[in-house]
């Protein structure tokens, strides 16, 4: 099957940067719900100045959006 969607990016099995990445598997509960407190704390920290990249990305999404699905386009 030809890679498409996530298969070309984060789920790629052929990209050199990801080819040796193995995972332990697990359910959504193990991945997120069992670790929700540290994930929330880290997200909050990144938003409130822990990372210029994370803060900039969130502000860009918020600033360049008008309602649902409408985005500003510079002319």
7 belongs to a structural domain: no
Number of structural domains in the chain: 1
Question: Average pLDDT, stretch 59-66?
Answer: 66
Q: At 66, list the tokens.
A: 């008008």
Helix intervals (H) in 1-75: 28-31, 36-45, 52-63
Each residue's pLDDT tens digit, 33-50: 888 888 888 888 877 777
Partnered with residue 47 across adjacent β-strands are none
How much of the chain, in percent, has pLDDT values that exceed 70? 69
As a whole number, mean pLDDT of residues 12-41 equals: 79
Please report whether residue 75 resides in a domain: yes
| Least confident range of 3-7, 9-13, 50-54, 57-61 | 3-7
**What domain range includes position 70?**
27-75
Q: Does some domain include residue 32?
A: yes
Contact 56, 64 (CB under 8 A): no
**What is d(CA 67, CA 69) in angstroms, rounded to the nearest whole number?**
6
């Amino acid at each position: 099957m030809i890679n498409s969607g996530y298969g070309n990016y984060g789920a790629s099995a052929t990209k050199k940067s990801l080819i040796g990445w193995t995972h332990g598997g697990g359910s959504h509960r193990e991945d997120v719900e069992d670790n929700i407190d540290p994930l929330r704390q880290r997200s909050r920290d990144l938003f409130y100045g822990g990372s210029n990249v994370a803060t900039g990305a969130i502000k860009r999404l918020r600033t360049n959006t008008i309602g649902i699905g409408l985005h500003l386009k510079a002319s």
